[in-house]
A and B are shown apart, each in its own frame.
Chain A
């Protein structure tokens, strides 16, 4: 378990480390969830380029692999721009039985560093 740092251990100059927000699970905000139908997807990448949260996962060749639920906030833009209807939007309440982090790629939770000693 990590611990919020004492003042002696704070980095100088107000700094934080690059890309550290990748441990922040913004997926927790979601009230609706995009569901990708891989069978329909043509990997046109319109969703990838318009996603405000960089949550469309692709493989090396630029093929859409899925949607990163750790970060996806459920804005619905991906479904709106999809030309083939490969992404549908469902309420998060449909997924209440899921346990654990909704995305699961990143172990650190929001606030893990806050207030624990």
Chain B
């Protein structure tokens, strides 16, 4: 325990408990005490609205909790409340997220700073309740910030800082706080919580601009806009996204002063002198880091980058971190049939402008669809392929049963 941390414990500003990602998000919601929550249950995020209902039933929050009849209505009610000036949170997964799809760009365009616990689950069909990122990836162009958390602690911390990031006047953009379904959402691990007072002080109160409920200064949201104005309105909106990395840095710094934990957009592990780097997101990162350690012990300079912030994508940062590498493997937990997998596409795109400084080969791997685990041997095989330089042009599949033998 570092000295700053020790002081915090003495202050009783921190408590440590065994909990899960869902419970950590729900606990953050209790401490944030949002004005409005509208949610509809879906596995594996169901525990969040369930736990929050308990808080409401026991008077632990002041929230108006709207138990809607669908995810579409959940996000719609959230938009209505957020535009009204309220602080709003919700949660969902998979097909629930897909049903909400129509409303996400509207929320973003309305600059409605909703904080959304997105518990990643594969998008049917076939129906599967386990983790992959096929539910959140289709929303990457919806205008929402997307942050992918590695563990329950990060889920908790990110929920807190997302309130301030989303509501910041230079950002005003809704946020998906993503965690891996079941792996993070349901597994119990130690999490440090701030005191209720510390959270209250950290998140402050929302100061809405142009709240709908200001009947003395009436404004209209959701106009019909011709091509004379649409472009300027969208560009104005995009500026909020463009400011997010800078503002996130400021708010993360504030949170780090309370917790000792820092969250840059990229989590770079032993990459500075690495020859080979694997890029990944969310809960499987630990496997890659372990393998990097093991390979380093054998004299192979391996490293790992975990992309925490996927929207806005930290292109400059990743380009700098990967320039000069002998090989990069991007491990995607979702596919883009007919195209490049989402994370690989971003990484390749980021490196394109720096390719004059030296070509960095980037290879695309798809793993873990429908909740299939990623094992150390899988990752070792990825690094072996990188070293051999025989990864091919298209995506390789990790841990797939394959008659051609390509799945190992």
Contacts and interface: CB of A to CB of B under 8 A. Distances in A.
Q: Is there direct touching of A and B in the complex, by C-beta distance under 8 Å? A: yes
Interface of A: 4-8, 10-19, 114-115
A15 B220 contact: yes
Contacts of A15: 210, 219-221, 223
B83 A13 contact: yes
Contacts of A6: 232
Q: Indicate the size class of the contact surface on chain B.
A: 20 to 34
B210 A13 contact: yes
Given A13-B110, A13-B111, A14-B110, A4 B219 contact: no
A11 B235 CA distance: 12
B109 interface: yes
Contacts of A12: 111, 172, 209-210, 236-237
B2 interface: no
Interface in B233-269: 233, 235-237, 239
B222 interface: yes
B220 A7 contact: no
A65 to B, nearest CB: 27
A14 B209 contact: no
Contact of B223 (A7, A16, A18): A16
Nearest to A15: B219
Contact of A17 (B83, B111, B219, B236): B219
A73 B237 CA distance: 36
A115 to B, nearest CB: 7
Given A14-B109, A15-B220, A17-B218, 7 more contacts: A7-B236, A10-B229, A12-B210, A12-B236, A13-B109, A14-B110, A19-B218
B220 A16 contact: yes
Contacts of B232: 4-7, 10
Q: Is the interface of A mostly helix, strand, loop or mixed?
A: loop
B393 to A, nearest CB: 39
A17 B216 CA distance: 12
Nearest to A21: B220
Contacts of B233: 7, 10, 14
A115 B172 CA distance: 28
A110 B134 CA distance: 46
B57 interface: no
B225 interface: yes
Contacts of A18: 217-220
B369 to A, nearest CB: 37
Contacts of B172: 12-13
Contacts of B228: 4, 114-115
Nearest to B228: A114
A7 B109 CA distance: 14
Contacts of B220: 15-18
B12 to A, nearest CB: 40
B134 to A, nearest CB: 30
Interface in B182-233: 209-210, 217-223, 225, 228-229, 231-233
A4 B236 contact: no
4 shortest A-B CB distances, which residue pairs? A18-B218, A7-B235, A7-B232, A10-B236
Most chain B CB within a 10 A radius of its CB, from A6, A7, A13, A17? A13
A115 B237 CA distance: 21
